[in-house]
Amino acid sequence: GDSVTQMEGPVTLSEEAFLTINCTYTATGYPSLFWYVQYPGEGLQLLLKATKADDKGSNKGFEATYRKETTSFHLEKGSVQVSDSAVYFCALSDPQYGNKLVFGAGTILRVKS
């Protein structure tokens, strides 16, 4: 079945450092790809998404490009802030095979000032 693999955390960075969180997927169809973020004590919030190959999703300085050839959707940000400290989840959905989201394990990001 479909699956998502994320790099393990926690990832600890200093403020203004460059962030990459790796995400790769396995899917039988043509999935949409998502990054969700969970701030402490809150629910899952959509950060960005891409629905087809070579699409780039972006939001709040974060971006990720849907790479079909490498089945990847890595999350990047050029300069992280303390307020970016959260858990980041990569996920996919393939409407051809149902509407559910399949999540990766989540990556904890800690940003130090």
Partner 1 sequence: EPEVTQTPSHQVTQMGQEVILRCVPISNHLYFYWYRQILGQKVEFLVSFYNNEISEKSEIFDDQFSVERPDGSNFTLKIRSTKLEDSAMYFCASSENYGDTQYFGPGTRLTVL
Which of 56, 60, 100, 112 is in the footprint of partner 1 by CB under 8 A? 100
40 is a contact residue toward partner 1 (CB under 8 A): no
User: What Å distances lie between residue 14 and 42, 81, 86, CA to CA?
Assistant: 23, 8, 14
Contacts of 27 (CB under 8 A, 6+ apart): 2, 71, 92, 94
- What mask, x for binding partner 1 by CB under 8 A, covers residues 49 to 78? x-----------------------------
103 is a contact residue toward partner 1 (CB under 8 A): yes
Instruction: Give least dist CB 95 to partner 1, A.
Output: 4
The maximal CA–CA distance of the chain, rounded, in angstroms, is 44
Rounded distance between C-alpha atoms, residue 57 and residue 60, angstroms: 11
Q: Which residues bind partner 1 (CB under 8 A)?
A: 32, 34, 36, 41-46, 49, 89, 91, 93, 95, 98-106
